Amino acid sequence: MGRKGIETLVGIFVLLGMFAVLFLALKAANLASFTGGDTYAVTARFDNIGGLKVRAPVKSAGVTVGRVTAISLDINTYQGLVTIDLQQGVAFPADTSAKILTAGLLGDQYVGLEPGGSDTNLKAGDEIKMTQSAVVLENLIGQFLYNKAAEPAAENK
């Protein structure tokens, strides 16, 4: 095989390799849909963030509009301080509320946003005031048992 032939074959090999990397980046990791873009950061305080993780999606009406970028403990209020990056094109009213929800029964947790009715919009650095914590299964069961235990006492009266 001549020099030209080998060079062409190597070209095909490199092209195949590049194609494979592109496939992994675009099809498997979906680089295209979240190339960062312009975002603005808002914060929210939750009494309990449950199993929320950094990079968890932020959704409104089920549509992903941002990502959780940082989670820390606010040592003044002992609440979980969650920083969220929202896409620049999506504006939310200032009285929007945030909930920590779970996708499916065993799925990952994400932040759900419910828009309010305010005329002013959230700006970069604002805090979402109304929040609802993650549901912790132990607390839920504990509450259920507590209510059960209280029931017979109520009937005896």
Asked if 54 contacts 70 with a C-beta cutoff of 8 angstroms, the reply is yes
Q: Does 53 bind other proteins (CB under 8 A)?
A: yes
Among 82, 106, 136, 144, binds other proteins (CB under 8 A): 106
Q: Does 73 bind other proteins (CB under 8 A)?
A: no
The CA-to-CA distance between both ends of the chain, in Å, stands at 99
Query: Please, what is the Cα angle at 89 between 84 and 95, to 5 degrees?
Result: 55
In the complex, the smallest distance separating the C-beta of residue 69 from other proteins, rounded to whole angstroms, is: 10
Q: Does 6 bind other proteins (CB under 8 A)?
A: yes
**What DSSP string describes 66-128?**
EEEEEEEEETTTTEEEEEEEEETT---BTT-EEEEEESTTT--EEEEEE----SSBP-TT-EE
Contact range with other proteins by CB under 8 A, out of 5-13, 39-47, 111-119, 136-144: 5-13
Among 41, 48, 57, 90, binds other proteins (CB under 8 A): 57
Q: Which residues of the shown chain bind other proteins in the complex (CB under 8 A)?
A: 3, 6-7, 9-10, 12-14, 16-21, 23-25, 27-31, 33, 53-55, 57, 105-106
